[in-house]
Amino acid sequence: MAKAKSWLEPHPGGLYVKPADLWIDPSRPVERAAVTHGHADHARSGHGAVFATAETLAIMALRYGVDAAASHNQAFEYGDGFERGGVRFSFHPAGHVLGSAQILMEYRGERIVITGDYKRRPDPTCAPFEVVPCDIFITEATFGLPVFRHPPTEDEIAKLIGAVRAEPDRAVLVGAYALGKAQRVIAELRAAGWDAPIYIHGALEKMCQLYAVHGVDLGDLRFVGEADKAEMAGQIVLAPPSALNDRWSRRLPDPVTAMASGWMRVRQRARQRMVELPLVISDHADWDELTTTIAEVNPKESWITHGSEEGLLRWCELHQRKARALHLVGRDLEEEA
């Protein structure tokens, strides 16, 4: 085992950086937390001080009322960071959602990177993942099994547009998580040339506004409540997954139910949610992205967490790469894949 064990302690509730007396993505309120990104399984409310990118802090302000302007909370640009207890912390793009960061820690000549959640394919709504050389690489493994290979995003977007055009009397209702996935689906639709208004559920409004304020152009967004039922025929509507089979959807003209998630690769999951049009669009690295990333970062050791640890652990063994599984609790895999 590398010497890191003495200064970085994995606990079920998060990673504790001993010399800095600081936690990374802790699952319970702590005095000092560095947070990789705004999803609920990483960003919690109630911390004394939060260290994060400016975007993540803005997201935490929106979701939990964290006071982003308070002096004990600190916002950083990518590449930037702070020092505490002799440990140098810096934030680097993770390509997962707006503001998502990998955190690099440097202490007594040793470099440890914790990825938080990440992906490698392009995403018009956030900065691309950066390879940060390190001794210990702590990687997520949500889709850490060879069965998970996400198709090209453009193909899934083309499928969505094709479905709307095939049935102009119906609306296509896409379930997408409120932070990240919804804005990415909208931005990908715009990139594919879909410039009609896109209708959104009220629960997506504030996060879409936050993205727009941070320079992500989402085009003409309208509320479902503001339009006549008939007006929404032949249109794309986005809602949080919980609204898919809800009474709310009755205000749409005979909606085709779609869902954008990496889990849509598993037919049974699509069936469970009564999804007619599964769209395999994920904000997490698939199997190839995970293995390619470990090879590119080429650390002395990988610590694997947040998902299918065993599959990736096996891959590391087969490729003579030192690795171990970290079992952190409170990671909700359904939440935002």
Site for Zn ion, rule CB under 5 A:
39, 41, 117, 336
Give dist(CA 215, CA 55) in Å, integer. Answer: 11
Using alpha carbons only, give the angle 243, 328, 147 rounded to the nearest 5 degrees: 65
- Three-class SS of residue 93? strand
Report, in Å, the least distance between residue 333 CB and Zn ion.
8
Would you say 87 or 185 has its CB closer to Zn ion? 185
Report, in Å, the least distance between residue 84 CB and Zn ion.
24
Would you say 97 or 252 has its CB closer to Zn ion? 97
Report, in Å, the least distance between residue 136 CB and Zn ion.
19
Would you say 76 or 177 has its CB closer to Zn ion? 177
Report, in Å, the least distance between residue 6 CB and Zn ion.
27
DSSP state of 126: S
Report, in Å, the least distance between residue 285 CB and Zn ion.
11
Give the closest residue to 50 by CA, choosing from 103, 92, 10: 103
Instruction: Evaluate whether 255 touches 170 at the Cβ level (below 8 Å).
Output: yes
Would you say 301 or 336 has its CB closer to Zn ion? 336
Would you say 41 or 289 has its CB closer to Zn ion? 41
Report, in Å, the least distance between residue 9 CB and Zn ion.
20
Would you say 24 or 232 has its CB closer to Zn ion? 24
Instruction: Evaluate whether 240 touches 204 at the Cβ level (below 8 Å).
Output: yes
Give dist(CA 245, CA 276) in Å, integer. Answer: 12
Report, in Å, the least distance between residue 30 CB and Zn ion.
18
**What are the Cα distances from residue 143, in Å, to 14, 47, 117, 280, 307?**
20, 30, 11, 12, 7
Would you say 19 or 124 has its CB closer to Zn ion? 124
Name the residue type at position 204: L
* Residue ranges of E strands in the chain: 8-11, 14-17, 22-24, 32-34, 49-53, 74-76, 81-84, 87-93, 101-107, 110-114, 136-141, 172-175, 198-200, 221-223, 236-239, 256-260, 277-279, 301-307, 323-325
Give dist(CA 129, CA 64) in Å, integer. Answer: 26
Give dist(CA 260, CA 50) in Å, integer. Answer: 31
Would you say 163 or 312 has its CB closer to Zn ion? 312
Report, in Å, the least distance between residue 116 CB and Zn ion.
7
**Cα within 13 Å of Cα(61), Cβ side:** 16
